[in-house]
Amino acid sequence: MTDIQNRDQVHDLAARLGVPVLIARMLVSRGVTTFEAARRFFRPAWEDLYDPFLMADMDKAVERISRALNKRESIFIYGDYDVDGITSVSLLTLFLRRLGANVFYYIPERLKEGYGLSLSGVRQAVECGTTLMITVDCGITGIEEVKQARESGIDVIVSDHHEPGAVLPDAVAVLDPKRADCPYPFKELAGVGVAFKLIQAVSRFCGLEESVPAEFIDLVALGSAADIVPLVDENRVLVFKGMEKINRFERLGIRALAETSGLLDKKIGTGQLVFIMAPRINAVGRLGNAERAAELLITDSETRAREIAKILEQENQTRKNIDEETFRQALALMESENGEKLPPAVVLSQYGWHSGVIGIVASRIVEKVYRPTIMIAVEDGVGKGSARSIPNFDIYSAIRQCEPYLMGFGGHKYAAGLTIAPENIEAFSSAFLKAVESVIDGDDLVERIHVDSEISLDEITDKFIRLLNLFAPFGPQNMRPVFLSRNLQVVGTPGIVGKDHLKFRVRQEGKIFDAIGFGLGSLRYRLTPGEANLDMIYVIEENIWNGQSRVQLRVKDLR
């Protein structure tokens, strides 16, 4: 599209919506170019969801679940140990129990069984006497495990969102929008999103009201936000609706979690889910048994919910301590192995690292050095790895090229997990670096900040902020809008607060705003009080303190 066409489109949309050109420009940059698209963006509706029966094998899955319900068969739900898996297990358990099913659920222990469908989980299903197993947020690569289940007399429905391998499991039904032969129009659902489509389909088949699956939409929002899926298309509808329910604190577990984490009197957005609630739910799975987190979301006892929420708070603090020490060791190892010149990707391994925190640490390494990163913890003769990527680099594809060195792997474009024999780590590392070097260049390794628009501070009005808030929920492919303002004056003396956070005030044309740069204390030297020479990139937030709301500019960079 030419600049003239784009400009005309922006002005036309601004006129039709009755919004400032700046708002229309941000909408167009997000692919929202018509009045109807803007309606779907600003007011997502249940009617905007796709027909669940468009998903390959959905009819088979629904028929088998219906038969199990009619014959009162026991149903065994097997889920992953992260927030996406835990919310998927909770959602499906609550829904099927509502229909009168006898439901068992099982979440593997990360440290003992690792990721994915396990043979020990299949054995557990056999011991429960179940005849139907439903996997959630896992199972798409569980070829042998599904085969073992079927040989044991258990039918399996696989519900997953990860990339399939060359061969699909021989299950009654395989629900995964990423299947090459799946016509489902949206491919980026989280695991809990796929599970939600399943209960939507079962509800329709059983003649239930549409309000029944909607009862669990808060779990869909929590799991989807935590799994960092793109918040566009169907995910935007699911998370938008789910955030409304979360902020009503109707679910006892979510209310207890908000209470222990200090969020009960605050407006909760996706940021609070990702950075405050999700780590607490993840903590029990990282350090022990994640079934406690599922119980938190399933329980109808307020007392029990508070007990578990307190346990999660304690476990999260323990996790933080382990995380900090592992991060410190990883930085030291990276420096000793590479010096000042980093390769295009980072692979670090060490005996004794806690496999439950290496994913978090890998993410922190990516933030610090902006390189695709794999952290491998070697325990009991097996290396367990977590991979995290940078934008526009498919780390799953690169790992797949190194498959001969691995015991197993799974994941998607920006995050993956793997297991490896310790003696193969060095060869794998070399092969992985070659795979990265073949598709990545120096420009890809320079972090860029996308700026939505250049504005002056006097454009930040109450109306403008109200319109910005309508862009929520924020997440991948719909990040919080980023602005650039030039020639700002620093007011007063900048200070360092907390853990290296830069706090100061800026003024332009009489408008003064608080600004804070988290982790940007090293940039204090760039601030000269009194001079109108500061260029700043930032996002606009409302900071609530002691019940008072105040606009705050969260700094991303400055010069």
Query: In this prediction, what percent of the chain has a pLDDT beyond 90?
Result: 84
pTM: 0.90
State how far the Cα of 458 lies from the Cα of 508, in Å rounded to an integer: 8
In a domain? residue 320? no
| pLDDT reported for residue 522 | 92
Same domain, 124 and 158: yes
* Cβ atoms of 249 and 255 closer than 8 Å: yes
Q: Each residue of 293-322: pLDDT tens digit?
A: 999 999 999 999 999 999 999 999 999 999
State how far the Cα of 541 lies from the Cα of 91, in Å rounded to an integer: 32
Q: What six digits make up the tokens of 81? A: 């140990």
State how far the Cα of 386 lies from the Cα of 81, in Å rounded to an integer: 14
**CATH number of 416's domain:** 3.10.310.30
Q: What six digits make up the tokens of 143? A: 């070829």
At residue 326 the predicted structure's pLDDT band, cuts being 50, 70 and 90, is very high
- For residue 324, which of 316, 312, 313 has the smallest C-alpha distance? 316
Average pLDDT over residues 372-395: 93
DSSP-assigned letter for residue 163:
P
Average pLDDT over residues 68-74: 96
| pLDDT reported for residue 361 | 94
Q: Is 503 a residue whose pLDDT tops 80?
A: yes
Cα distance between the two ends of the chain: 32
Q: Each residue of 148-162: pLDDT tens digit?
A: 999 999 999 999 999
Same domain, 433 and 496: no
* Cβ atoms of 540 and 502 closer than 8 Å: no
State how far the Cα of 204 lies from the Cα of 373, in Å rounded to an integer: 44
Domain finish residue from 294, 311, 328: 311
State how far the Cα of 38 lies from the Cα of 28, in Å rounded to an integer: 10
**To which H or E segment does residue 156 belong?**
strand 155-159
* Cβ atoms of 390 and 371 closer than 8 Å: yes
Q: Is 446 a residue whose pLDDT tops 70?
A: yes
Packing angle of the helix pair 83-98, 217-226 (nearest 10 deg): 160
Residues of the domain holding 32: 1-42
At residue 1 the predicted structure's pLDDT band, cuts being 50, 70 and 90, is very low
> Tokens 């007392």 identify what position?
303
State how far the Cα of 77 lies from the Cα of 104, in Å rounded to an integer: 6
Query: What are phi and psi for residue 318, nearest 5 degrees?
Result: -60, -45
* Alpha helices, H only, 339-461: 358-369, 395-400, 425-437
Packing angle of the helix pair 217-226, 278-287 (nearest 10 deg): 70
State how far the Cα of 53 lies from the Cα of 58, in Å rounded to an integer: 5
At residue 5 the predicted structure's pLDDT band, cuts being 50, 70 and 90, is low
At residue 338 the predicted structure's pLDDT band, cuts being 50, 70 and 90, is confident
Same domain, 29 and 61: no
Average pLDDT over residues 112-135: 90
- For residue 196, which of 237, 162, 155 has the smallest C-alpha distance? 237
State how far the Cα of 322 lies from the Cα of 161, in Å rounded to an integer: 30
Query: What are phi and psi for residue 26, nearest 5 degrees?
Result: -70, -35
Q: Which residues pair with 78 in a beta bridge?
A: 106, 135
Q: Where are the beta strands (DSSP E) in 352-393?
A: 373-379, 382-388
Instruction: Give the β-pairing of 132-136 and 155-159.
Output: parallel
| pLDDT reported for residue 151 | 96
Same domain, 271 and 253: yes
- 68 Cβ contact list (under 8 Å, min separation 6): 75, 101, 131, 132
In a domain? residue 495? yes
Same domain, 300 and 374: no
Query: In this prediction, what percent of the chain has a pLDDT beyond 70?
Result: 98
Same domain, 184 and 292: yes
In a domain? residue 319? no
In a domain? residue 436? yes
State how far the Cα of 99 lies from the Cα of 206, in Å rounded to an integer: 10
| pLDDT reported for residue 4 | 54
Q: Is 325 a residue whose pLDDT tops 80?
A: yes
Domain finish residue from 386, 410, 445: 445
Same domain, 467 and 541: yes
At residue 111 the predicted structure's pLDDT band, cuts being 50, 70 and 90, is low
Three-state secondary structure call for residue 193: helix
Same domain, 283 and 408: no
State how far the Cα of 210 lies from the Cα of 200, in Å rounded to an integer: 8
Average pLDDT over residues 276-290: 87
Angle at 553 between CA 548 and CA 556, to 5 degrees: 145
| pLDDT reported for residue 54 | 98
State how far the Cα of 189 lies from the Cα of 66, in Å rounded to an integer: 24
Domain finish residue from 445, 466, 490: 445
Total domain count, the chain: 4
Same domain, 227 and 83: yes
Amino acid of residue 398: A
**CATH number of 467's domain:** 2.40.50.460
Residues in the chain: 559
Q: Each residue of 195-242: pLDDT tens digit?
A: 999 999 999 999 999 899 999 999 999 999 999 899 999 999 999 999
In a domain? residue 88? yes
CA dihedral 44, 46, 48, 54 (to 10 degrees): 150
5 versus 401: the higher-pLDDT residue is 401
**To which H or E segment does residue 84 belong?**
helix 83-98
Q: Which residues pair with 409 in a beta bridge?
A: 418
Rounded to the nearest 5 percent, the helix, strand and coil shares of the chain are 45, 20, 35
Q: What is the mean pLDDT of the chain?
A: 93
| pLDDT reported for residue 22 | 93
Same domain, 356 and 389: yes
**CATH number of 216's domain:** 3.90.1640.30
Same domain, 150 and 264: yes
Q: Is 403 a residue whose pLDDT tops 50?
A: yes
Q: Each residue of 254-280: pLDDT tens digit?
A: 999 999 999 998 899 999 999 999 999
In a domain? residue 491? yes
State how far the Cα of 303 lies from the Cα of 396, in Å rounded to an integer: 42
Same domain, 66 and 119: yes
